[in-house]
Amino acid sequence: MGPVTPDHTDTNLSTPNLSGAKVQKFGGSSLATPEKIGKVADRIAADRRAGHDVVVVASAMGGRTDALVQLADAVTDSSPPARELDALLSTGESVSTALLAMALEDRGVPAASMRGWQAGIRTEGPHGHARIAGVETSALRAELEAGRVPVVCGFQGIDADGAIQTLGRGGSDTSAVAIAHALGATCEIYSDVPGVFSADPRDVPNAALVDHVRYDEMLAYAQQGAKVLNEDAVAYAQQMDVTIHARATFLHEEGTRVNAEAPLSVVTGVASRKLAYRIAGNAGVVEGLAKEHHLVARRAEDGPHEAAVVLHEGATAEDLLGVTVSGPIATVSLVGHRVGELETLGKGELEKAGIPVEAVFLSDCALTFVIPHGEPKRASRVLHAGFIEGALGAALDARLGGRSGSKRLHA
């Protein structure tokens, strides 16, 4: 799915005054059990007691969407009709929003669950990968004015023909950003991690929380493999200038703010893709495959175009037709505003550690090294130690006049 490009968004900002309102999105892992739903309700209730208007956007309970896909596969011999699959998958959020609204009511907080269409989310484009065209906020405002917490199904909306559409995996983040923009509210996205780290903590034990990230850096992070925020949601936030505050559901930490105001960095962090393929060939064919799958990085020079892609769910390398295919491969990327000047240094650090570099791709905020499949964890540790933790990062700050990720980290 490409970046979200809404044509318009209806804000209807006349009444009530929502300058202190919050849109809070909770992911599936935060809502996976009745006990967790209760803890989320406690958190929302505390914000209500503090005087905030709150709109909640909820994902399906953890694992529910996959279970629904399996049901669809069980009753069809071929691919399920896209329209009906959207109608089915949208029910996952219906369950979680109704349960969360019940839990809030049980805590004395008036609440109302709302499907995407009931909350005024209008969509366009193909089923399964729809885009948000706008948000008509009158129903949301009516609930807030009545003193209720709207609990909105993320990941979905309704098209001009009245059909339910879904936004693709991770689309609830985009729902939250769109509603926050339409209401003029702040946007908080809660998950099971405290925010954006300088690397995946599962791969790099010394990774630390970054308190402030620019939109373009976060887009590069997401494209290169970081999973904290949905790539389309960040693109929407950048377009509409909505600050995203990424936080942990069950921890009271400040998390990470994503907007245009973070200081420029030399290197903010490291991201990796553990399974990708390198393709080369005619520019039109390469670009078409990059759109069909997930583009990690591309290079367009004289001769064949090249790209690194992650296959979409259910695809195999045999689906990459009309191009030369190499792989599987892995990638590791330095993310930041001055990483384009670090190709020789980065390649040297990896090769000094015995990790061969098969190709290098450069985009606006990412320097991506193609490495052997099975090496991304070790490569992430090598680059993080060299460019984030060590003296090299400080030397780069002094020489290139930026701020390394280490200067924006929580210990």
The answer for residues whose C-beta is within 8 angstroms of residue 399's C-beta and 6 or more apart is none
Sign of CA dihedral 17, 19, 23, 24: negative
Q: Above 50 in pLDDT, residue 350?
A: yes
**pLDDT of amino acid 327:** 87
CB 273 within 8 Å of CB 225: yes
**pLDDT of amino acid 12:** 37
- Report helix, strand or coil for 234: helix
Q: What is the pLDDT of residues 371-403, one digit of tens each?
A: 999 999 999 999 999 999 876 665 665 555 555
CA dihedral angle for residue 261, residue 264, residue 269, residue 275, rounded to 10 degrees: 80
Q: Which domains does the chain have, with CATH numbers?
A: 22-192 (3.40.1160.10), 269-410 (3.30.2130.10)
* Helix H or strand E encompassing 56: strand 54-58
Give Cα separations from 1 to 41, 121, 170, 268, 305 (angstroms): 32, 18, 11, 25, 21
CB 93 within 8 Å of CB 59: yes
**pLDDT of amino acid 291:** 85
Q: What is the pLDDT of residues 21-75, one digit of tens each?
A: 999 999 999 999 999 999 999 999 999 999 999 999 999 999 999 999 999 999 9
Q: Which residue has the tokens 């839990």?
A: 103
For residue 117 the two structure tokens come to 């269409």
* Helix H or strand E encompassing 111: strand 111-114
Q: Above 60 in pLDDT, residue 302?
A: no
**pLDDT of amino acid 389:** 87
Neighbours of 2 (CB within 10 A): 12
CB 243 within 8 Å of CB 184: no
CB 116 within 8 Å of CB 157: yes
Q: Above 50 in pLDDT, residue 136?
A: yes
CB 65 within 8 Å of CB 121: no
For residue 341 the two structure tokens come to 């000047």
For residue 126 the two structure tokens come to 């193909």
**More confident position, 322 or 9:** 322
**pLDDT of amino acid 304:** 67
Nearest residue to 261 (alpha-carbon basis) of 217, 199, 294: 217
* Percentage of the chain modeled with pLDDT above 90: 72
Read off the pLDDT band of 14 (50, 70, 90): very low
Q: What is the pLDDT of residues 354-366, one digit of tens each?
A: 999 999 999 889 9
- Report helix, strand or coil for 265: strand
**pLDDT of amino acid 409:** 47
Read off the pLDDT band of 283 (50, 70, 90): confident
